[in-house]
Amino acid sequence: ELLLNNIAKRQFIPYVLDSAYNKKNLEGATNVDALLLNPANGFAVITEAKVLSDISYQITYDVMRNQIARSIDVMLEKNNTLCHPLDKRDPERTLFLMITPKLFKDNPTSRLYGYRFNEYKNNPSSLAQDLPHRKDCNWQNIAKRLGWLSWEDFRNVNKDCCQWLE
């Protein structure tokens, strides 16, 4: 609804603006790469995994929105309309995890996700700027729930994992 009411502030291309009229939903479902969930207590980890690709830097009707912000937005939202056990996820007990090659974690400015992730971790108020519809959030607490691991970290724990790294 926020986007519907503010589309002219988030998009400026005339034909895209025209196509937005009479639509009820301007953003489709968010697909994360993996979700680990304990339905008994609502604890969850939303995972965005990358190898060579970067994050999406815009949504058709919202050129200011990036893929990490969108995933964090989903992380913060309770959705009771989902099927069981997904409806048991507790937003207050949900973490966001990004997984990338170590090369990009060590050189974060080579990818947009490196800039955005580090900005969200080091300057939590930047999350408020990218999620302006979220009010009364503890951005410091949310920033503490963001993590970044490398595929090599997984490989170090389980030698059978990520054999493509050899």
Q: What is the pLDDT of residue 32?
A: 87
The phi and psi torsions of 109 (rounded to 5 degrees) equal: -80, 0
CA distances (Å), origin 19, targets 23, 28, 58, 62, 112: 8, 15, 17, 13, 28
Per-residue pLDDT, 66: 86
What's residue 50's pLDDT? 96
pLDDT band at 76 (very low <50, low <70, confident <90, very high): very high
Residue 141 predicted with pLDDT over 70: yes
Give mean pLDDT, residues 90-95: 98
Read off the tokens for 3.
């986007």
Kindly report the three-state secondary structure assignment for every residue of the chain.
CHHHHHHHHHCCCHHHHHHHCCCCCCCCCCCCCEEEEECCCCEEEEEEECCCCCCCCCECCECCCCHHHHHHHHHCCCCCCCCCCHHHCCHHHEEEEEEECHHHHHCHHHCHHHHHHHHHHHCCHHHHHHCCCCCCCCHHHHHCCEEEEEHHHHHHHCCCCCHHHC
| Local confidence band at 21 (pLDDT 50, 70, 90 cut-offs) | confident
pLDDT attached to residue 160: 93
Q: What is the pLDDT of residue 133?
A: 85
Average pLDDT over residues 65-70: 88
54-58, 119-123, 135-139, 147-151: the lowest-pLDDT one: 54-58
Contact (CB, 8 A) for 65 and 116? no
**Is the entire prediction scored with pTM above 0.75?**
yes
Extents of the domains making up the chain: 31-165
